Amino acid sequence: MANLVLYRKYRPKSFSEVVGQEHIVQTITNEITNDLLSHCYLFSGPKGSGKTTIARLLAKAINCENLQGFEPCNKCQSCMEINSGRAIDLVEIDAASNRGIDDIRELKEGIRFAPTRLKYKVFIIDESHQLSKDAANALLKMLEEPPSFTVFVLATTEAHKMIPTISSRCQRFDFRKLSVLEIMKKLEMIVKKEKIKISKPALDLIAMNADGAVRNAEVLLDQILSFSKVSDQDDKKEITEEDVKILLGVIDVGLIAKLIDLIFEKKSGAAVGFLNEIIEKGLDPLELAKAIVEYLRQILILKISPDLENPIFRNLTQEIKGELKKQALKFPKPEIRQALKAFLEAQNKIRYSPIPQLPLELAILEITGD
């Protein structure tokens, strides 16, 4: 294994390597091809969705000395300097920790001078919504009359907090969370290149727990590789779904599905016994309650609108989708709604209960009518 962590080692070096965000990649690559660059871009979306990655690819493409259509060559001096983080004309600022007026004044001084080596000076300002009022106003003045050799990329997880006068001067792109299948595509490529033995269900579980972000999935995979090496020195051992569950403390959706079946079949004794059996395995009652609430919510939404293309089902495997659909068809809507309310109430009471699983047990008895 290389010393570099996976998310850095496998950060896309060309637009073709980007997973998901096709609408953004297509628009930006068209602009590069047709030489129709904007002076300022606003990239908005959840953490780990590729905002900084695409910003760096944009910086590399517009400065590449041997551009192949819209793809950077990754061989010229400009590309290599950007890849290695040595490019003086690519300035990255984290507005979360450099949010004051003095930091922006330094930036203002920097844009007065032409690039040292590259064709364009590119300024990537991460978490740009966190700039102070004075700093945001100073940035606004720069965006009103920017030099022709500068390109700004403002990245944010909370676009609604950006001041409208800045947003209106930017070309805005909204990044979305990725599906399990899209994340799996990237993970499968990594494990193949790294020659990692890992089962498909284990990869599925990593992708499902990545919260729609490739970077999160890569970090989780790194953790699991470290855990596997410590727990078993045999490099030939395949990493299993169980290994992933142990490390991440993941609640098996299959267990929740079984518990829901017992509850709706009015088998109160069996349901309470099964609940305690799950908790005895070391699962946190509060996390279990959250997982039950989320599962019941998904069943209710399927009951109202039987469309598995709804975004809330994006991070689920086909097997789980099938189980949800089966239960949505089987259980009446009023009962699902009642169960959801009961477990929501239980979730709120767990923190104050002397016996953490007691609110969950009472919720089961309330739903089953015992």
Q: What is the pLDDT of residues 23-73, one digit of tens each?
A: 999 999 999 999 899 999 999 999 888 999 999 999 999 999 998 889 999
Show Cβ contacts of residue 313 under 8 Å, excluding neighbours closer than 6 positions.
298, 321, 324
CATH of the domain at 121: 3.40.50.300
- Phi and psi of 40, rounded to 5°? -150, 135
Question: Is there a single domain that holds both residue 193 and residue 280?
Answer: no
Q: What is the pTM of this model?
A: 0.76
| Per-residue model confidence as pLDDT tens digits over 283-337 | 889 889 998 998 899 889 888 877 766 666 766 767 777 888 888 888 888 999 9
Task: Give the CA count within 13 Å in the CB-facing half-sphere of 116.
Answer: 9
Question: Is there a single domain that holds both residue 336 and residue 241?
Answer: no
Is the sign of the CA dihedral 196, 200, 206, 211 positive or negative? positive
Instruction: Decide if pLDDT at 74 tops 60.
Output: yes
Question: Is there a single domain that holds both residue 159 and residue 201?
Answer: no
- Other CB atoms within 10 A of residue 230 CB: 8
The 150-156 sheet, strands edge to edge:
90-94, 121-126, 150-156, 40-44, 171-174
What span, in angstroms and rounded, lies between the C-alpha atoms of 180 and 212? 7
What's the domain count of the chain? 3
**What is the pLDDT averaged over residues 136-146?**
85
122 bridge partner residues: 90, 151
Give me the chain's average pLDDT, please: 86
Q: Which domain holds residue 236?
A: 180-248
The residue from 248, 278, 303 where one domain ends is: 248
Q: Per the domain annotation, does 297 fall within a domain?
A: yes
Q: Which two tokens stand for residue 362?
A: 């009472």
Question: Is there a single domain that holds both residue 214 and residue 322?
Answer: no
Question: Is there a single domain that holds both residue 143 and residue 45?
Answer: yes
Question: Is there a single domain that holds both residue 269 and residue 335?
Answer: yes
Model confidence at 1, pLDDT cuts 50, 70, 90, reads: very low
Question: Is there a single domain that holds both residue 46 and residue 127?
Answer: yes
Question: Is there a single domain that holds both residue 110 and residue 132?
Answer: yes
- How much of the chain, in percent, has pLDDT values that exceed 90? 43
Question: Is there a single domain that holds both residue 260 and residue 212?
Answer: no
- Residue 308, classed as helix, strand or coil, is coil
Residue 325, judged by CB atoms within 10 A of its CB (0-12, 13-18, 19+), counts as middle
| Per-residue model confidence as pLDDT tens digits over 205-238 | 898 888 888 999 999 998 888 876 644 555 557 8
Question: Is there a single domain that holds both residue 55 and residue 160?
Answer: yes
Question: Is there a single domain that holds both residue 70 and residue 129?
Answer: yes
Model confidence at 155, pLDDT cuts 50, 70, 90, reads: very high
Question: Is there a single domain that holds both residue 302 and residue 190?
Answer: no
Q: Which of the residue ranges 4-18, 47-61, 131-145 has the most confident prediction, judged by mean pLDDT?
A: 47-61
